[in-house]
Chain A
Amino acid sequence: MFDLYRRLSGALGSSSPDDDEARPDGGVVSERSAPDPGPESEPGPLARVGSAVDRRLGSDFFESSLFWLPPFLLMALFVYGAIIWNLLISLTDYRGFANAPDYGNLDFGMYSRALADPGFIDAAVNTLILLVAFTGATLAVGLVLAILIDRGIRFENAFRTIYLLPMSLSFVVTAQFWLWMYNFNNGIVNLFLGTFGIGPISFLGNQTIVLWAIIFALMWQFSGYAMVVYLAGLRAIPTEHYEAAQVDGASTLKMYWRVIIPQLKGATISAAVVLMVFGMKAFDFLYSLVGGYRPPNGADILATKMVREAYANLNWAYGAAIAIVLFGMALAVIGPYLVYEYRRNNL
């Protein structure tokens, strides 16, 4: 009890010399002192409540709220406020040039419309394919690169810099590069395949391969990222584990498969979550590929369909409903991840 009082009065007393400029946290200080009478006076009911609040939240709760609360509220308004608002809009019939949706008449009409829309189903399936294939391929390439780079090679920095380079580029920029790579007549991909007698293939015009071509391009852009994450994971593994495996006579391949890769679970999970989110954001890439809202046939994903419905067709409520579905997908990935991180005490 005495310690609590000392800390409280110390914090209060010291805030005065700091008060040379007007402090916007006057309310905070009084809030802090309000439950304070406890320590000096007889421990009445009020004091017990006051110290209980402090014990509960920690002695610095109110003073520190000045630091985190305003930015947190700004973020919460724009993220969670907007998502709730979006949910509300998705229940209206808002479309066209009207200034605001009519909130008086809410129903799930937009969701049943989505289920009946073959374009929506296609986009949802494409989104899932993109997420799974892109994340899997990127993680695999990243892991192989990280293991190769971790073999104590020379020029490690140069290789790492080159592998991560595409990640620093905008989707808008890389889309231009891949448009040229996939060009039917002069593209390098077709030129390369031509030396094996394959093609030429119209990668962006063929409905069955366009999605895979895009996944490949995205993999190119982000495998460097997976490599960096895995490299950090590999460097955290004690060398004794390698040595122990070698003493046991395990081959290099076996050592990685049995001993090292299982220890990269944490790195895999966090990289996979981030990559899936990048995959859901592939809108920028698809938009830039065609310079418009309509991606190549066969490559429509929920992210592009949502923006097209809302901003090109002015079906605001329908767009909002698609966005909620996309958000649900993201939540299905992030939710378990956050629980996992919380259990590991990582938050």
Chain B
Amino acid sequence: MSDAEIRRTNELTRAARLRRSVEQTTPSEVALYVVLLVMAGFYLVPIESGLVTSIKTNTAIIQTAPYAPPGAGGATLEKWQTAIDALLRGMGNSLLYAVPATVISAALGSVTAYGLTMPTWKQAYKAPLIALIVAGIFIPYQAVLVPLTQFWSQWVQLAQHLSFVWAIGVPDDYAGIIELVVTHVAYGLPICTLLFRTYYKTMSTEMIESARLDGASLRRVYRRIVLPLSGPMFAVVLIYQFTQIWNDLLFTLVLVSTESSPAAPVVLILAGLGSSLEGQDFALRMAGAFFAALPTLAVYIFFGDEFAEGVSA
């Protein structure tokens, strides 16, 4: 669009602009938007259906279409009540390990990436280390599960070492929470390091080099120059890590094991919610699913751009 055209567009009234844009819309553009809307529907339908189902009574579930809102008299918040009652303690437990594990792994990832990016030592020696770290992102966790169980239950035995904590009334299942923090930090480090490294590689080296020539130590350079500039990447990494850790089921299943445990995280309770011998209570399942997803949904809605950046890096 040329300058003259833009000026002309700005002069048009709102209505005229609208008419113009409608007139200019070609059939292929209409088709484009139709496809985009249909795809948006495809991504939203399972979520929408879950949301309306979560507020239906048992009879409304059978009588109304799965995507339709409950009619008058068919709506109830009872299932949400039950789900919140069942999941609230799990929410607390999840926060108890997800928040520290997120913060620690992001901080360590930043430090590691700095040590492997800015200081001058041979790329040929850095590359294998970085390859090992990157490979660490992709290993299937099944390959470390049995040793992990052995490590925590036979070698470290946190539950016994922390007996003074259980003495003041904390259930000893909470050793599982500490194990989850350490485990998630260790396995989250590779992705955090990689994210920070891609960011640090694009950082201008001039300031750092001149600081180094003036005799600043690496520690000082990190604290005074690199860390203050890492803010945006910290947002990306924290959001990505929090979502990953909150959503993970496998480690909680192996380290905490039962949903009846007082330290059971929310995903573990949710996985068993709403299924019983009489059949499946879908309204309860949906309400529970939404409740458990609230923190990650909130993070996604408020920090969508950072999330997109985190997953695409």
Listed by A's residue number, 21 A-B pairs whose Cβ atoms lie within 8 Å are A58-B120, A63-B218, A64-B118, A67-B119, A71-B111, A75-B190, A76-B132, A83-B147, A86-B144, A100-B154, A168-B307, A176-B285, A177-B47, A181-B45, A185-B62, A186-B62, A281-B250, A284-B250, A291-B275, A323-B140, A327-B139
A203 proximal to B (CB < 8 A): no
Residues of B within 8 A of A341 (CB): 134
Report whether over half of chain A's contact residues are helix, strand or loop; otherwise say mixed.
helix
**Given the complex, which residues of B lie within 8 Å of A287, measured CB to CB?**
249, 253, 271
Stretch at the interface among A34-42, A147-155, A206-214: A147-155
Q: Cα distance A338–B134 when bound, in Å? A: 8
Whether B119 contacts A220 by the Cβ 8 Å rule is no
* Pairwise interchain contact A310-B189, C-beta atoms closer than 8 A: no
What 17 additional pairs, Cβ within 8 angstroms, besides A177-B47, A319-B146, A338-B135? Answer: A14-B216, A58-B122, A64-B119, A75-B136, A75-B187, A86-B146, A100-B150, A101-B150, A169-B296, A224-B43, A281-B250, A283-B250, A291-B275, A319-B145, A330-B138, A333-B138, A347-B130
B166 contacts partner chain A, Cβ-Cβ < 8 Å: no
Cross-chain contact of B143 among A11, A75, A326 (Cβ < 8 A): A326
Which range contains the number of A residues in contact with the other chain? 35 or more
From B10-18, B70-78, B230-238, B287-295, give the one contacting chain A.
Answer: B287-295
List B contacts of A250 (CB < 8 A): none
Task: Flag the segment in A111-119, A132-140, A225-233, A257-265 that touches B.
Answer: A225-233
A183 and B311 alpha carbons, distance in the complex (Å): 31
- Asked if B49 lies at the interface with its beta carbon under 8 angstroms from chain A, I say yes
Cα–Cα, bound, A172→B272 (Å): 10
**Bound CA span A163–B50, Å:** 17
Is the CB of B215 closer than 8 A to any CB of chain A?
yes
The 6 closest A-B pairs by CB, nearest first: A58-B121, A67-B115, A68-B115, A60-B119, A170-B247, A64-B119
B156 contacts the other chain (Cβ, under 8 Å)?
no
**Is B131 interfacial (CB-CB < 8 Å)?**
yes
**Interface check B164, CB cutoff 8 A:** no
Q: How far is the CB of B235 from chain A (nearest CB, A)?
A: 15
Residues of B within 8 A of A174 (CB): 46
Residue B293 contacts which of A67, A81, A149, A169 (CB distance < 8 angstroms)? A169
Interface check A47, CB cutoff 8 A: no
Q: If A148-B36, A281-B141 touch, does A307 touch B250 (CB 8 Å cutoff)? A: yes
Chain B residue with Cβ nearest A80? B132
Chain A residues near B (Cβ < 8 Å):
7, 10-11, 13-15, 18, 56-61, 63-69, 71-72, 74-83, 85-86, 89, 99-101, 145, 148-149, 151, 153, 159-181, 183, 185-188, 191, 220, 224-225, 228-229, 231-232, 273-274, 277, 280-281, 283-284, 287-288, 291, 302-303, 306-307, 310-311, 316, 319-320, 322-324, 326-327, 329-330, 333-334, 338, 341-342, 347
Contacts of B114 in A (CB 8 A): 67-68
B312 at the interface (CB under 8 A from A): yes
Looking at A82, A273, A334, the one whose CB has the most chain B CB atoms below 10 A away is A82
A149 to B35, CA, bound (A): 11
When the two chains form their complex, are residues B142 and A303 in contact, meaning their CB atoms are under 8 A apart?
A: yes
CB-based contact B40/A160 at 8 Å: no
Given A220-B46, A330-B140, also A160-B285 (CB < 8 A): no
Is the CB–CB distance between A10 and B215 below 8 Å? yes
Contact indicator B286/A180 (Cβ below 8 Å): yes
- The answer on a CB contact under 8 Å between A14 and B215 is yes
Q: Distance in Å from the Cβ of B134 to the closest Cβ of chain A?
A: 6
Question: Does the CB pair A78–B144 fall under 8 Å?
Answer: yes
A162 with B33: CB separation less than 8 A: no
Nearest-CB residue, chain B, relative to A75: B189
Chain A residue contacts of B35, Cβ below 8 A: 148
Max count, chain A CB within 10 A of own CB: residue among B118, B146, B312: B146
**Residue among B53, B183, B190, B249 making CB contact with A288, cutoff 8 Å:** B249
